[in-house]
Structure 1
Amino acid sequence: MELLLLIAIVLAIAWQRKTSHRLARVEDELLAIRQRIDTLTSTAPPDAAIAETEAETLAPPAEDTAEAAADAAVAIAAREDAVHDLKPLHDKEETSDTLESNLGARWAVWVGGVALALGGIFLIRYSIESGLIGPETRLVLAGVFGLLLIGTGEAIRRRMIEPIADRYGNAMIPGALTAAGAITLLGATYAAHGYYGFIGATPAFVLLGVISLGTVALSLLHGQALAGLGLAGSLVTPALVSSTAPSPWVLFTFLAVTWLASAAAARLRRWTLVPVLANLGLGGWVLAYLFEAFTPDITPPTLALLVVIAGTGFVWPGHRAEEPSSSTETWWRFLRRPPLGITLSLSLVVLLAALAMLAVDEGYSILPAFAAASLVAALAALGAGRSYAVWPALLSAVGAVACIGLMALILLDQAPLPVTEGGTAPPLSFGLEIAISLGLGGVFTFLGFAFLRRTGTLEPKLGALWALSMSAVPVALATISFLNFGTLAADWIHGLYGLALGAILIGIAQWRILRSEAGEADRAANLVALGSFAGLAFALHALTTGITTTILIAVIGFAYVLATRWRPWPAFPWAMGAAIVVVFARIAWEPTLVGPNQLSTTPFWNALLPGYGIPALLAVLAAYQLRNWQDHRARNFLQAVAALMGMMALVVLVRHAMNGGVLDDSVATLGEQSIYTLLTIGFSATLMTLDTRAPSPVFRYGSMIAGVLATANVLSLHVFVLNPYLSGESTGAWPFVNLLLIGYLLPALSYAGLAYYARDKRPRLYVMMLALAGALLGFLWATLSVRRFWHGENIADWKGFLPNETYNYSVVWLLIGVALLVLGSRLDARSLRLASAGLVIITVLKVFLVDMSNLEGILRALSFIGLGIVLMGIGLFYQRILARRPSSSPELPPVPEAKA
């Protein structure tokens, strides 16, 4: 079997050499054709010159000269077209690969190389099984065979034809022979150590490393594939050599040297795949060591990763991949800046390693937190130092928040040390954790400023990314530190940090605007200015509590609005909007602002008035101050939050007053809900009025949304959920001024007024909705008032119906229908006329279905008589109204004239 395999290998090599000779002949023929084409191209100008000389010598008439020149131009153009037609064919033949070339020139080379490597292995196996030679001799012969293969590959490389080497650079015979020799040497060295024990761990480790690094060095002559083989051998070497006293320092020093060697080779040949494999391989070793070692030493892997980050920034890609950004670059292309694989793999490896360092330590030492922060800071420095390092800049910001957040979660359950006999409990201090958190945030601010100063004007997208990171990351890290390690009452360390951060950022924004060609419209400067508000807002949360924080947040936001008088920066209005959003968040967290136990029960004159009223007032003033602001998005946003804040303040004050001075989540009564409905209707009218004076989409659509919300409350709460007929709630002792007045009649009148006011200002369907909602509430008020007249304060459904009560319903409904008909005719409101028709139909059905069966005697007769009189009156009314309309009226089509 082994003999047949050797014969097959020899035949494969012979066939490959024959194919190579055939391809060499084809290359020679293509080269000859190309030279002939170049000759034809070079002879065109002399022909043209001769034609021109002959034309001047003969000097024919002008017309003949023009015709001859045209013919010559056509001939020259035809010759050039022929040459251009031949060139693409030549290029296509030169660059395209056929099935024969792939099989003969590429596949055969690599399969031959694999066959050689397997042949050496099988030869060793055959010698072992046959007992021909001893293990020492076999290993020596294997080493000699590997060196022979490498030497043969080098000898063949020096005799290769240059065109063939350029075309089949990734499938050359020298590279295959060198790869087979390297595998043979690696296998022989491992066998000498692992199977026979001829050499110790240290010599084996050194030999394997030398062979692997030598393979990487030879890859400079044979291509990137051989470099990958050498890199793989280097990465596998530590796993192949066992030691009784493994040292992480030796391991990661070797891996770092291997990475630097591969990076140097990649720099010389501008490779991009080998560095990615090197990053992933070293990262895999770091993660394996951290999770498999019993007590891992954090320092060696940290230093190795720092070497990788520094090597990426200075060795390869280094400054060679720096390219000026294009003004037409999209965000998608921005995120895919080359070399994408190198930067993305490095960022992921560093981020995962930093998180793993924190996870395996479980908070017993500060060293993992310091190591993780160092790695994140180094990655951020790479992102700030190189324009292609988009992903290091982005993932370093994410990694900083993730690492500090993981550190806080790990230390969340930490408790003070137990008290010893005769001693006191040591205080639990997180000073180092606070220093790491705040210091890492300061690093991002410094790196952001350094980037903006160096290349910020040339890199608008990356500058905007760093402007966001240099403010968002420090605030996020300081917030995590304050919530987990700080003093929630008044923390001066975090508070002063926030104040300093806000001042520094506003100074950087001012410096940036003075240097930028865009001036006040510079995106990065405005993002930094907005970040200064975030720093000041954090400082307020660290230094103050409760209602004071809520009010001062709005005050700081309004200060930014006032600053637009001297510095009309586009970011300042957004600071006020952000302040109101923070106020909303604080209200959602604690609606009472001072705590339920500290809130006074006095209606209106309590902590809710300044806590809600001052931010609402400042928001309204800010919206008025910026009513003519050029940025319509900021102006509309401010108007929206001002309207919402004002509405919320009124609702909360009413809620507190209607619940006996208690602000909780209890179900509202009909009276309280009616006040909310009236406020919403008034809010809609106010926005409508503002829209007529200062047109704005916020006012326009906000007024309509408020009207729709009010109508939804009516249909769901007033009609069903809180209806005294269904809920059994008492309507009050007074005959007219009672719950029905505030629950139904006042909202009905408000809806009617709003519908009348919106007739020429809002869409017709919206006005019809308001009018029908008012008519419905008026109908409910009249109906429930009739029931209250017969049943008293409690009008619950379990009391049933009285005969006189049933008759009164018919009378009242008919009167309401007639009133709606008259009002709709006066105001030319079709919605009211439709409501009248619907109510009359309901009354007819009620009389015929209910009164006929339930009423007796005179009441039944009066019910039908009254219904008939009203219906005939309505018919007569419509006949007269329609008869008075012109023939062109859309509601009454013209009557066709009778034909004679």
Structure 2
Amino acid sequence: MIELLLLILVIVMVGLNSRTGKRVAALESELEAIKAALRQQAITLPSPAEAVSTGTAADALQDRPASPVELAAREAAEAEAPVAAVSEDVGTGHETVVPGPVLKPAAQAKTSENLESYLGARWPVWVGGVALAFGGIFLVRYSIEAGLLGPAARLTLAGIFGLLLLAAGEIVRRRAMPQMSERFSNAMIPGALTAAGAVTLLGAIYAAYGIYEFIGPASAFVLLALVSFATIALSLLHGQALAGLGLLASLLTPGLVATEEPNANALFIFLGLTWLAVNAASRFRQWTVVPMLANIGVGLWAVAYVAGSDAFDPLPPALALIVMIAGTGFFWPGSRYEAGASARTGWRALLLRPPLKIMLSIAIMTMLPALVMVLRHAEGAGMVLFGFAAIMATLAALGASRIHAVWPAIIAAAGSILGITITALIWFDYVPQSVLPAPADGQPAQALTFTNEITVYLLLGAIFTLLGFAFLKRFRRQQPEFSIVWAFLMPAVPVALAFISFLNFGNLGRDWTHGLYGLGLGLVLLGAADWLFRRGGDTAEDGTGPSVDWPANLLVAGSFAGFTLCLHALTNGIVTTILVSVLGFAYLLAMRAKPWPALPWMMAAATLIVFGRIAWEPTLIGPNSLGTTPFFNALLPGYGIPTLLAIVSAWLLRDSPDFRVRNLMQALASLAALMTIAVLVRHAMNGGVLDSRVPTLGEQSIYTLVTVGFSGILMTLDLQRPSPVFRFGSMIAGVIATINVLSLHLFALNPYFSGENTGRWPFFNLLLIGYLLPALAYGLVAFYARGRRPMPYVAMLAVAGAVLGFLWATLSVRRFWQGDNIADWKGFLQGETYTYSVVWLLIGVALLALGSKLDAKSLRLASAGLVLIAVVKVFLIDMSNLEGILRALSFIGLGAVLIGIGLFYQRILVNRSANPAPADSPADSQGTTS
């Protein structure tokens, strides 16, 4: 095994050297460019006056991305410049910088690192340290194989060897390191010797415990812990890598030492002390990698304990995680980070604020164990949920107390919502005891009340609201982006938690707990919004900032969400639907007293919520409770009142300067009106039943008439008060109606294919409402749209009307010959076939005359198409299917009509040649929209 490790190490070193050799040429050329740039800077140093004049330009360019050559030059200059002495207060994070003597650039040492320095000063150090460690291992192995020494002597010599390595590291550090360059700080020889000594001591202690059993678990644990902590302490002298070694040893110690009675308290106390030691050293030396690894290690230990224990105690891991979060806020108060965070603005800068690695790791590695605790909530003690809530609340507090802790705030909110979702899924299949059969002993079953779940999650949501207040009070003006984050979280988290709690653990009939919680939350957020509006917008101290006060407006939206929660908890059915719309309308009317931009948007939100409730339950009160009286039933107020309020709101906002909410309300009001009419019609046409059955032709015809009429109404509104909603909404309605005609009237619901009876009356039958009335409606809307809508849209309406009229005439002929039922299985009679030709030609002639009188080219083209169909029908069908006089009359009539049409067109063309006129009507040449 050892030989395999050595072989792998040699292969890795050869590969790295080969890769390094390929980059030598590029490195040397780049270093030469750096030297030339440094010489040029040394020659052309600016005078003090020039430095002052160029200060502003330097500030403006400091955020510009630098090229690789400039970065390398900057790093080389910083490495050669005198190092300022920095004195920091670890407890408060305030730094005192003592400037060192300023040397002239010409006097600075100009050194560069080449391939020789890489291979001679860096790699041998760490490889030598590894070789020393392997040498100690091979020495012990040889003594064992040769039987030279006993176990006690071997362990003693191993311990002495480890101590000698530690001493050698300290001697080299004191004597040789003062003359070493700072560039080799990550390849210090003392650090390598110290690391080898620490590994040797750790191996000797574990061998004494695990192999030879000279010491017990307690002694082994204490000794391993002492060596680990000593290694962490020595890292202050030898660098971050040694701190990582001490951290690794500390994290492995509990796993290496086994005991018959595991003690969770001792485990997490030790892990907490390890974390504190690592972060103290890291804060002193400004390391960020080792603290991140410490967060990950302790978090994984917490996950392993909670997931792997048969009966776990949530208190030790919860306290350890809380100590980690609180310690992060203490060790990294961010005075050095807050200065840079305030200087850089924008969402990207907010999400990437240092120390990013520490903040991300602490947030993720405390959320994961907390979620695992919730997963085992049903098996654990009653304090599991309280431990989870305490962890999430502490993490959120870290996000509210540090302006660089945006990720803890976001992840705490996400973790809280995930936690209650997991809890709800755990109890998703729970059956209340009231519906279960009584136990055999006759005693009443104990009902589950979910008091702990409701209490924990409602309190957790309230904590987010309080933390949001605290953040906005401290940092609102200095941190506009982060303020928006907290203004969103402080209503979103409590409302989400309360809604999930109400739906899963509450009384869906009437729940006073959740209802009063929503009422109180809404009042508090509304008062907070008023407080923010009174204090002014998001303008920063330098006078810059967004024009919209987003935090205050988000709190207005949060108050609406709280009141909506209250309505859902205290009411149900149609009452909730109507009151939600009334609530949104009340916010809209509040604009007369408070000119808050978010108020009209709440009416739009209320209308969308009403749509959602309708999609969930179209009957609003349940299908069994819905009356069968047409129109005058629960659907009229349930749909009508929200629609009426939406229409009034759109009218009140007709002159609103915010065109977005104005257009949105116009669209929602239009959609609500169309939906209300459609639902009332379906209820009336289906005997008071609202279900998913396929509508009949009569019902679908009403929908088509409503949609076409709706298109005309929107067009009229657009002409009176131009609006893109009315303009495009009218055309969308026309297109939807046309699609219905092409798919349903022509094929799916056509009585010829469906076999539906058309009725006993000759004219007032199903064909009238199914085809003639929609055809007339299409014709009127097309005529009204001439010159007001694009020509293709007008042509679409005209063609749809013509097709419906053609179908009415054709199907009426079939009904005349076949009776009420005109299904296709009846075939065709000869008289029926001849009548089709006569009717089609008459319709063609009528369209030609009408198109000539109105100067409508579209009607004349429709006439030509219909006559062409008649010609094809006569030559292909009548010739083969008709006999006797009917065949002759068919061809004679066709010939006479065609000659008459030709004579008609010849006279028109002669007249136009004598009196030139526009090729078509104004409507045909216009394609603009009003």
Normalising by structure 1, report the TM-score.
0.88
Q: Deviations over 1:359-415 (max 9, x none)?
A: 224255321111111111111111111111111111111111111121122233446
Of 781, 794, 800, 2:821 maps to 794
In the alignment, does 2:410 pair up with 1:394? yes
Q: Deviations over 1:335-373 (max 9, x none)?
A: 222222211122211221111112224255321111111
Corresponding residue of 2:149: 133
Contact 2:217 2:259 in 1 (8 A): yes
Contact 1:744 1:778 in 2 (8 A): yes
Equivalence map 1:653-732=2 (5 Å): 653-732=680-759
Question: Does the C-alpha gap of structure 1 residues 95 and 762 become closer, same or farther in structure 2, counting only changes over 3 Å?
Answer: farther
How far the C-alpha of 1:670 sits from its partner, in A, is: 0.6
In the alignment, does 2:754 pair up with 1:754? no
Question: Does the C-alpha gap of structure 1 residues 428 and 95 become closer, same or farther in structure 2, counting only changes over 3 Å?
Answer: farther
The residue identity in structure 2 corresponding to 1:407 is: T
Contact 1:165 1:172 in 2 (8 A): no
Q: Deviations over 1:295-329 (max 9, x none)?
A: 11111111100011001111136554324546874
SS at match of 2:376: helix
Question: Does the C-alpha gap of structure 1 residues 44 and 635 become closer, same or farther in structure 2, counting only changes over 3 Å?
Answer: closer
Unaligned segments of structure 2, at least 5 residues: 14-31, 48-69, 81-108, 540-546, 921-930
How far the C-alpha of 1:878 sits from its partner, in A, is: 2.0
Question: Does the C-alpha gap of structure 1 residues 790 and 360 become closer, same or farther in structure 2, counting only changes over 3 Å?
Answer: same
How far the C-alpha of 1:884 sits from its partner, in A, is: 3.0
SS at match of 1:754: helix
The residue identity in structure 1 corresponding to 2:849 is: V
Corresponding residue of 2:565: 538
Question: Does the C-alpha gap of structure 1 residues 791 and 697 become closer, same or farther in structure 2, counting only changes over 3 Å?
Answer: same
Q: How far apart in 1 are the matches of 2:172 and 2:421?
A: 59
Question: Does the C-alpha gap of structure 1 residues 773 and 110 become closer, same or farther in structure 2, counting only changes over 3 Å?
Answer: same
Q: How far apart in 2 are the matches of 1:352 and 1:278?
A: 15
How far the C-alpha of 1:700 sits from its partner, in A, is: 1.1
The residue identity in structure 1 corresponding to 2:819 is: G
Question: Does the C-alpha gap of structure 1 residues 317 and 825 become closer, same or farther in structure 2, counting only changes over 3 Å?
Answer: farther
Contact 2:400 2:409 in 1 (8 A): yes
Of 400, 405, 408, 2:424 maps to 408
Contact 1:415 1:428 in 2 (8 A): no
In the alignment, does 2:504 pair up with 1:491? no
Question: Does the C-alpha gap of structure 1 residues 218 and 536 become closer, same or farther in structure 2, counting only changes over 3 Å?
Answer: same
Q: Deviations over 1:805-855 (max 9, x none)?
A: 111111111111122222223333332222211111111000001111111
In the alignment, does 2:614 pair up with 1:587? yes
Q: How far apart in 1 are the matches of 2:291 and 2:490?
A: 29
Q: How far apart in 1 are the matches of 2:266 and 2:562?
A: 45
Higher relative contact order (CA 8 A, sep 6+): 2
Corresponding residue of 2:299: 283
Q: How far apart in 2 are the matches of 1:888 and 1:350?
A: 86
The residue identity in structure 1 corresponding to 2:737 is: A
Corresponding residue of 2:209: 193
SS at match of 2:619: coil
How far the C-alpha of 1:170 sits from its partner, in A, is: 0.3
Q: How far apart in 2 are the matches of 1:263 and 1:627?
A: 60
Considering only CA atoms, is the larger Rg found in Structure 1 or Structure 2? 1
More deviation, 777-786/129-138: 129-138
* CA RMSD after TM alignment: 2.7
Equivalence map 1:467-478=2 (5 Å): 467-478=487-498
Contact 2:401 2:471 in 1 (8 A): yes
Of 768, 791, 796, 1:764 maps to 791
In the alignment, does 2:451 pair up with 1:424? no
Equivalence map 1:146-165=2 (5 Å): 146-160=162-176, 162=178, 164-165=180-181
In the alignment, does 2:563 pair up with 1:512? no
Corresponding residue of 1:650: 677
Corresponding residue of 2:925: none
SS at match of 2:428: helix
Corresponding residue of 2:882: 855
Q: How far apart in 1 are the matches of 2:351 and 2:39?
A: 45
The residue identity in structure 2 corresponding to 1:314 is: F
Corresponding residue of 1:55: none
Of 294, 317, 320, 2:310 maps to 294
Question: Does the C-alpha gap of structure 1 residues 224 and 44 become closer, same or farther in structure 2, counting only changes over 3 Å?
Answer: closer
Corresponding residue of 1:369: 385
In the alignment, does 2:249 pair up with 1:233? yes
Equivalence map 1:867-882=2 (5 Å): 867-882=894-909
Q: Deviations over 1:840-880 (max 9, x none)?
A: 11110000011111112221111111111111222222222
Q: Deviations over 1:214-240 (max 9, x none)?
A: 111111111111111111111011111
How far the C-alpha of 1:164 sits from its partner, in A, is: 3.0
SS at match of 1:807: helix
Of 127, 132, 136, 1:111 maps to 127
Corresponding residue of 1:71: none
Contact 2:313 2:381 in 1 (8 A): no
Q: How far apart in 1 are the matches of 2:831 and 2:418?
A: 75
Question: Does the C-alpha gap of structure 1 residues 851 and 38 become closer, same or farther in structure 2, counting only changes over 3 Å?
Answer: closer
Contact 2:682 2:699 in 1 (8 A): yes
Corresponding residue of 2:500: 480
The residue identity in structure 1 corresponding to 2:353 is: R
Question: Does the C-alpha gap of structure 1 residues 721 and 392 become closer, same or farther in structure 2, counting only changes over 3 Å?
Answer: same
Corresponding residue of 1:834: 861
SS at match of 1:760: coil
Question: Does the C-alpha gap of structure 1 residues 269 and 420 become closer, same or farther in structure 2, counting only changes over 3 Å?
Answer: farther
How far the C-alpha of 1:669 sits from its partner, in A, is: 0.7
Q: How far apart in 2 are the matches of 1:290 and 1:364?
A: 10
Q: How far apart in 1 are the matches of 2:699 and 2:75?
A: 87
Q: How far apart in 1 are the matches of 2:750 and 2:886?
A: 29
The residue identity in structure 1 corresponding to 2:444 is: T
Of 469, 484, 489, 1:464 maps to 484
The residue identity in structure 2 corresponding to 1:744 is: Y
- Count of residues in correspondence between the two structures: 826
Q: Deviations over 1:475-495 (max 9, x none)?
A: 111111111211111111111
SS at match of 2:731: helix
Of 650, 656, 659, 1:623 maps to 650
In the alignment, does 2:605 pair up with 1:578? yes
How far the C-alpha of 1:509 sits from its partner, in A, is: 0.5
Q: Deviations over 1:471-514 (max 9, x none)?
A: 11111111111112111111111111111111111000010111
Q: How far apart in 1 are the matches of 2:420 and 2:255?
A: 33
Question: Does the C-alpha gap of structure 1 residues 349 and 867 become closer, same or farther in structure 2, counting only changes over 3 Å?
Answer: same
More deviation, 878-887/612-621: 878-887
Q: How far apart in 2 are the matches of 1:96 and 1:135?
A: 51
The residue identity in structure 2 corresponding to 1:427 is: A
More deviation, 732-741/160-169: 160-169
The residue identity in structure 2 corresponding to 1:619 is: A
Q: How far apart in 2 are the matches of 1:891 and 1:163?
A: 98
Corresponding residue of 2:852: 825
How far the C-alpha of 1:38 sits from its partner, in A, is: 12
Question: Does the C-alpha gap of structure 1 residues 43 and 526 become closer, same or farther in structure 2, counting only changes over 3 Å?
Answer: closer
SS at match of 1:668: coil
Question: Does the C-alpha gap of structure 1 residues 39 and 473 become closer, same or farther in structure 2, counting only changes over 3 Å?
Answer: closer
Question: Does the C-alpha gap of structure 1 residues 143 and 94 become closer, same or farther in structure 2, counting only changes over 3 Å?
Answer: farther
Contact 1:521 1:569 in 2 (8 A): no
Q: How far apart in 2 are the matches of 1:857 and 1:704?
A: 51
Contact 2:129 2:192 in 1 (8 A): yes
Q: Deviations over 1:549-575 (max 9, x none)?
A: 110010000001101111121111111
Task: List 4+ stretches of structure 1 deviating above 6 A.
Answer: 36-45, 87-90, 887-890
Corresponding residue of 1:337: 353
In the alignment, does 2:662 pair up with 1:635? yes
Question: Does the C-alpha gap of structure 1 residues 720 and 94 become closer, same or farther in structure 2, counting only changes over 3 Å?
Answer: farther
State, as a whole percentage, how many aligned pairs show the same letter.
61
The residue identity in structure 1 corresponding to 2:732 is: I
SS at match of 2:780: helix
Corresponding residue of 1:204: 220
Question: Does the C-alpha gap of structure 1 residues 876 and 681 become closer, same or farther in structure 2, counting only changes over 3 Å?
Answer: same
Q: Deviations over 1:501-542 (max 9, x none)?
A: 111110000101111334993001101101111111111110
Q: How far apart in 1 are the matches of 2:76 and 2:271?
A: 47
In the alignment, does 2:471 pair up with 1:451? yes
